[in-house]
Amino acid sequence: MYALTQTKLAGCSSHSLAGDFSGNIRPVLKTENNFDRCIGQPGAAVHASCCHAPSLECKVQEYSSLEHTGKIMVTCDGGWTLTGCNAQSHGSHPLGAYSVDNTCVVMSSPGSHRTAAVAICCRKRLLETEKHSSTYK
């Protein structure tokens, strides 16, 4: 699922009617032809949440623990707001991903490994017209 050129990717989600669903989904910003996109597992329906906001700047932040822990978290940097939260796993099945304030929390089975919390973080940036008008107060 791709975001149009004038829109910003703010979140990704997916579902499967087949029954075998790992929940793996990955937001990818500014790749092929300068499009943002969401990548999901084969056979799953992937949904992108996008908004038209020329002054919005977004980035992906990811954290995976080296320890075998049941909870992995990543928090958006100061001045950035969490707009999307997903789990990415290579081998184990995450139990789910959810947001708490500005933090993406991923739950996984105890002893599982190679699971990551993937956050989409956005902030408003000043456009050139706003930068010039703000200096003339």
Q: Tell me, what's the pLDDT at 95?
A: 81
CB 92 within 8 A of CB 65: no
CB 9 within 8 A of CB 120: yes
More confident position, 17 or 123: 123
Q: Tokens standing for 33?
A: 């032809």
Averaged over 16-26, what is the pLDDT? 60
The CATH architecture to which 8-125 belongs is: Sandwich (2.60)
Give dist(CA 85, CA 101) in Å, integer. Answer: 11
Is pLDDT at 104 greater than 90 in this prediction? yes
Q: Tell me, what's the pLDDT at 115?
A: 83
CB 41 within 8 A of CB 87: no
CB 58 within 8 A of CB 9: yes
Q: What are the pLDDT digits (tens) for 33-85? A: 667 777 777 777 778 888 888 788 888 899 987 777 788 899 999 999 999 99
What global pTM score does this model have? Answer: 0.74
CB within 8 A of 137, min separation 6: which ones?
A: none
